[in-house]
Amino acid sequence: MDLKKKDYIPKEELRRIQIERLKETVQRAYHLVPFYRKKFDEAGVKPEDIKTLEDIQKLPFTTKQDLRDNYPFGLFAVPLEQVVRIHSSSGTTGKPTVVGYTESDLKVWTEVIARTLKMADVGPKDIVHNAYGYGLFTGGLGFHYGAEAVGAAVVPASGGFTKRQLMLMKDFGATVLCSTPSFALHLFEVAKEEGYDVERDFKLRAGFFGAEPASEGLKRTVSESWGVQYVEVYGLSEIIGPGVAASCQYGSLHIFEDHFIPEVIDPETGEVLPEGEEGELVLTTITKQALPMIRYRTKDITVLHREPCKCGRTIVWMESVKGRADDMLIVNGVNVFPSQVEHVITKVEGITPNYVIVVDKKGVLDKLEVWVEVDERFLTDGVGTLERLKKKLEEELLNNLYINAKVKLVEPKTLERSMGKAKRIIDRRELNL
């Protein structure tokens, strides 16, 4: 069937499918996973209590900590014989989180990635250069099978080897790039250094960028540098990997809600917020077999919109993730998301969108430094000009984010380029306590 049709399903039909699938998922979770049974019992809720979509609010939340506590397979709802794939997070912030997929789960995943790719009508004529890391990370393999499913030719480039990747992109005539936004930008910078004529040498028309938050400015830079339709991809391995949501040509990040039910809550109280209010995204999987997730707290801050999108899709859409509740810095009492800093930086001419935020303590006060790279294209030879640039950036940060940050100009390419997710924050405060 036409995959795209699923995004345009009449609302009533969608609700019917959702409630049916939700009921089934809750039953399975309760009866097959001791962890869920215990949690439901403690909350005094039985699967039979879930009769409407609103009843989802009666269910307890699940967190990343729950996954860690039940490491590695404790939350699986199927015997291992039915698991055909296992992925895992890097575990940089503790024990890794492990996720499993049955054959049916992989089908769902392939479907949502295929629907993601359809946001730019990717099909058999396309050559998809997949620079997401292959391996335990869900990005590489997730996109791989989705792209095959729409009939495109996939180049499983994975991460690293930037120069070779550029050569392959040019020689094979890649039309679609899948990567993190920071790696897309890195590829572009290296292409210039290597003397490529980006417009002539490459045929890219669309890019599928995700796995890290990107500001509007970074998105625009990536989209304009490569001359591509920027499709934002949202996902997390706990839910399925990439493919939870993808942006249409109007930039609305549509959630494939026939598979994932979204809610937005107040991260402090856990209360469900009305549509249009900003809060933490909570997702419930309703088709996953191996690892059903009930009201998983993503820590991602966003807003849900149910009003119709200009593209005609009936499924709900969310705004770009403003930041992770985890990444939120509190600097002298002011909440700061790295993406907000990034947005300010990309508005100021003369510096690249590469930056690092360094937080330190100076006495009792937090001291924030933003390190940004000077771009040789804009480098003028006056110390005064650069001093003004620095001052302008400091003023912009103060005006937009209400923080006193010290800006430090650094040489180009000195800030770390990650092949996967960019590391934007260095918090030295804990070390000094």
Partner 1 sequence: MLKSKYAVKQISVFLENRRGRLAEVAQALLEAEINIRALFLADSSEFGILRMVVNNPEKAKAVLVSKGFAANETNVFAVEVEDKPGGFYKVVKVLADEGIDVEYTYAYAGSSERAILFFKVKEEEFDKAVGALLNKGIKLVESLEMYK
Which residues of this protein are in contact with partner 1, per CB under 8 A?
193, 374-377, 379-383, 386-387, 408-414
278 or 376: whose CB is closer to partner 1? 376
* CA atoms of 131 and 226, how far apart (whole Å): 15
Distances (CA, A) of 287 to 26, 65, 104, 405: 11, 23, 9, 46
How near is the Cβ of 374 to partner 1 at its closest, in Å?
5
Instruction: Based on DSSP, count helices (H) and strands (E) in the chain, helices before strands.
Output: 12, 21
How near is the Cβ of 376 to partner 1 at its closest, in Å?
4
How near is the Cβ of 189 to partner 1 at its closest, in Å?
11
Other beta carbons within 10 Å of 333: 7
Task: Specify which residues 172 forms β-bridges with.
Answer: none
How near is the Cβ of 391 to partner 1 at its closest, in Å?
11
Closest CA to 283 of 257, 305, 263: 263
38 or 388: whose CB is closer to partner 1? 388
216 or 375: whose CB is closer to partner 1? 375
Distances (CA, A) of 220 to 112, 130, 236: 25, 21, 23
**In contact, 358 and 369? CB cutoff 8 Å:** yes
69 or 193: whose CB is closer to partner 1? 193
144 or 186: whose CB is closer to partner 1? 186
How near is the Cβ of 411 to partner 1 at its closest, in Å?
6
| DSSP 8-class letter at 363 | T
Closest CA to 285 of 88, 65, 22, 71: 22
How near is the Cβ of 80 to partner 1 at its closest, in Å?
49
* CA atoms of 32 and 76, how far apart (whole Å): 8
408 or 428: whose CB is closer to partner 1? 408
* CA atoms of 74 and 79, how far apart (whole Å): 11
**φ/ψ of residue 161, rounded to 5:** 45, 50
How near is the Cβ of 382 to partner 1 at its closest, in Å?
7
65 or 414: whose CB is closer to partner 1? 414
Kind of pairing between the strands at 279-285 and 260-265: antiparallel
Q: Whose structure tokens read 């992770």?
A: 324
Q: CA dihedral in degrees (139, 144, 150, 155; nearest 10)?
A: 120
56 or 351: whose CB is closer to partner 1? 351
How near is the Cβ of 388 to partner 1 at its closest, in Å?
11
Q: Kindly state the tokens that stand for 421.
A: 């997710």
193 or 224: whose CB is closer to partner 1? 193
Closest CA to 113 of 149, 151, 158: 149
| Amino acid at the residue 316 | V
106 or 198: whose CB is closer to partner 1? 198
* CA atoms of 31 and 26, how far apart (whole Å): 8
How near is the Cβ of 421 to partner 1 at its closest, in Å?
23
Q: Kindly state the tokens that stand for 123.
A: 């099909």
How near is the Cβ of 350 to partner 1 at its closest, in Å?
11
Does residue 410 sit in helix, strand or coil?
strand
